[in-house]
Structure 1
């Protein structure tokens, strides 16, 4: 069993949009310091709501690959006075946290892939050709899902991802061999790599797509757990 102080003297930097309280507590329970320096921001996208929001209610399947998509759907539901009962289709969620948030909105989850990645999703998701899916996504989402499924997929952009380097000066001040930077998206990787100082540091990735982005920039010894969650990254760092 790992020591309860396995991260003493270590700083774990999260670069996503949020620092979940449970993850902060997890890092601190092992003696580490949790730091949040987001390299991306997300804002609601509303231009497609008038047509695609009501159309999504008649889709056979609703597909969500991120917590942000659920959060911004929630804002739209509140704004227009909708509940989960307004949607008639089944629900597919990539990731346990995404599924949990959908359940909190009243949706029943009908499919979750074994690995929380879009490329695994399209391999495991079985659907009839005549069915229609609505994919709730961000503006930077890749075409993996609409290109990979053998049915009609309506892409509904519900949020925009914006890269930000405003925290990079603080990031560069921190960099050392006792710092591990955790990335959850290629977008955050790009910001870091374009603005980083030439110092020693460690990196961790959530998911093989993000790992591949780090490797493309020449990063090595990338920590990546088999389960694609923040909590699993921390467990791997403790090991």
Structure 2
């Protein structure tokens, strides 16, 4: 019997990877463990030198609420999908780190050696403030604006039970701490029997602090790489 893989990202972000994994030979269930909703925020973007987008969601919701980017502002992004979403809206990034991690982003952006900058960071209600803290400590004027919130989809727990009723989950993929925490609250079987894949170190750290191990974490934190790891390691 084919191994059963669980995808837990938002519904719109699961489909291409579900197809890829099924074509490789896995059975796949898509059960979103998070959903996001916009929060209206007034942002005076002209007051800043830089805007930093840390995820595709921040780009999506920034423009959904009518945001724009003047030519005077520089744009920094973390992540391939974030850059793609920015291009979809007609913009390109002035700065991207060599690896798609917060730590590398902080070091490489600070290594640009700029005079104190006014920096805007749109974010989710659950996002950490690591970038803002580090930049502020180096003399930059940083403002964070919450533009969307993350929660548990209404029928997520019931959908998860349905997905496991015919075949137990063998491998579960998580792309955020929120998805993991919601999964733990909903899952009724033995988590220790799962093979867990995490898209990056922040999520991995939360999983490990919960007492569970992570077998797969890609070097460059993309779903493309994590799917390839599963294909090579589980088939």
Q: In which range does the TM-score fall when normalised by the shorter chain?
A: 0.7 to 0.9
After TM superposition, give the deviation of residue 132 of structure 1 in Å. 0.7
1:187 to 159, 178, 201: 178
1:163 aligns with: 152
Gaps of 5+ in 1: 1-7
CA contact (8 A) 2:34 2:150 kept: yes
1:63 aligns with: 52
Report the TM-score, using the length of structure 1 for normalisation: 0.84
CA–CA distance in structure 2, aligned partners of residues 217 and 172 of structure 1: 21
Report the TM-score, using the length of structure 2 for normalisation: 0.86
SS of residue paired to 2:64: helix
SS of residue paired to 2:9: coil
After TM superposition, give the deviation of residue 191 of structure 1 in Å. 1.3
1:152 aligns with: 141
2:33 aligns with: 39
After TM superposition, give the deviation of residue 94 of structure 1 in Å. 0.5
CA–CA distance in structure 2, aligned partners of residues 22 and 40 of structure 1: 18
After TM superposition, list the pairs within 5 Å mapping 1:1-239 onto structure 2.
Answer: 9-17=2-10, 18-46=12-40, 48-49=41-42, 52=43, 55-77=44-66, 83-84=68-69, 86-126=70-110, 128-149=114-135, 150=138, 151-164=140-153, 166-172=155-161, 174=164, 179-199=170-190, 200-239=193-232
Pick closer, same or farther for the CA change 1:236–1:165 going to 2, 3 Å: farther
CA–CA distance in structure 1, aligned partners of residues 185 and 224 of structure 2: 27
After TM superposition, give the deviation of residue 83 of structure 1 in Å. 4.9
CA contact (8 A) 1:15 1:38 kept: yes
Gaps of 5+ in 2: none
CA RMSD of aligned residues (A): 2.1
SS of residue paired to 1:238: helix
